[in-house]
Amino acid sequence: MTKKTRKKAPRKKATTKRKATRNATRNARKASKPAAKRPRGRPTRYTPEIAEEILRRIPTESVRRICEDEHLPPATTVHTWVIEDREGFAEQYARAIQLRAMNWAEELIEVARNPQVGEIVTEESKVIVKDGEDGEQTEMPVLERKVVKQDMVAHRRLHVDTLKWALCKMLPKTFGDKLAIGGDPDAPAIKMTDVERGAQIQALLQVAAQRKAEAEGEGDGD
């Protein structure tokens, strides 16, 4: 009599439990790891420290150049502070711009007075005739290079004209060439009526006549 052997079925439940345990362990490891920090962006909030640094550098640097530093806000943010006048920033910004204009005016005079020596390079093509061993002459092109040192007058003129244009646009009342014919708003022209104008002219004529009489009297006494 033969005995029948039964095949053992695969343990599905045990396998499922192992996968669940493995996944739980992996998730626990991920949760224990600290989250990666996001890169910090450039500041946009107004602070007295940032404003002080920007105002301190404006007399010698442009706002665009200053705002290239990563720890400072972009130039558009600084312009917004000026428009909105954050904590009196607009008035301080205007004073810093005035100091920059004064520095440019001094730089303009220095550039105009002091020569700037530079090199001017010229190249000229020439043909040289050489005698060969067999007595035949050969023409060879040669590029002759000349270097002359002299004052860069055109460069200095461009520098001066650029500074003058910038000063006239930044502070037209101080560095502008135009005269206010209609009167300056800060110093308006004096308005007079015809009667007042006639009285003033009469007074000037009387003073002139008196001085003339005094001068004639001194002449007769001599």
DSSP state letters, 55-107: HHHTTTS-HHHHTTSTTS--HHHHHHHHHHTGGGHHHHHHHHHHHHHHHHHHH
The most confident of the ranges 93-102, 142-151, 169-178 is 93-102
pTM > 0.75: yes or no: no
pLDDT at 11 over 50: yes
What's the CATH number for 48-113? 1.10.10.60
The pLDDT of residue 217 is 67
Domain boundaries, the chain: 48-113, 117-164
In the structure, what pLDDT confidence band is assigned to residue 42 with cuts at 50, 70 and 90?
A: confident
Residue 124 in contact with residue 144, Cβ under 8 Å? yes
**Integer Cα distance of 156 and 150 in angstroms:** 12
pLDDT at 133 over 50: yes
The pLDDT of residue 81 is 94
pLDDT in tens, 139-149: 778 888 888 88
| Rounded average pLDDT over 164-183 | 75
| Rounded average pLDDT over 13-34 | 64
Mean pLDDT of all residues belonging to the chain: 78
